[in-house]
Amino acid sequence: MVTLDEQDRGAWDAALIAEGHRLVRGRLASGVAPGRYQILAAINAVHTSARDMRDTDWSQPPTGTELRRLISRGPANRPRRGSR
C-alpha cells in the first residue's frame, strides 16, 4: 500500500481525474441529495485537485455529520442476517 503522501501525483491519469471531477460537479448540481458514493467521490475530487497532499483543502469535504451518517450506515455496522 502506498500512503497518500508517498504517491506520485504526476503519474495519475489527468483525463480520468478530469472526467471524475466533471461527474461529481454534475451530480452535485443536479439538486438530488448525494448518496455515500457521491460523497466519497466528492472527497476524492478535493484530494485529486491538489498538487500535493499538503495542499489539499480538507475544509471542502462533507461535514462531520454527513461522514458520521455514512460511517454508521457502512457494512461493518449493519446487523448480520439472522442476528437478534
DSSP helix/strand/coil, 46: helix
47 φ/ψ angles, rounded to the nearest 5 degrees: -60, -45
State the DSSP H helix or E strand holding residue 21, giving kind and residue range, or none if neither.
helix 14-29
Question: What are the 10-residue block averages of pLDDT along the chain, 84 residues in total?
Answer: 85 93 88 84 85 79 54 49 50
Residue located via cell numbers 462533507: 62
pLDDT, position 77? 45
CA distance 34 to 42: 10
Who contacts 4 (Cβ-Cβ below 8 Å, separation ≥6)? 47, 53
Q: What is the pTM of this model?
A: 0.63
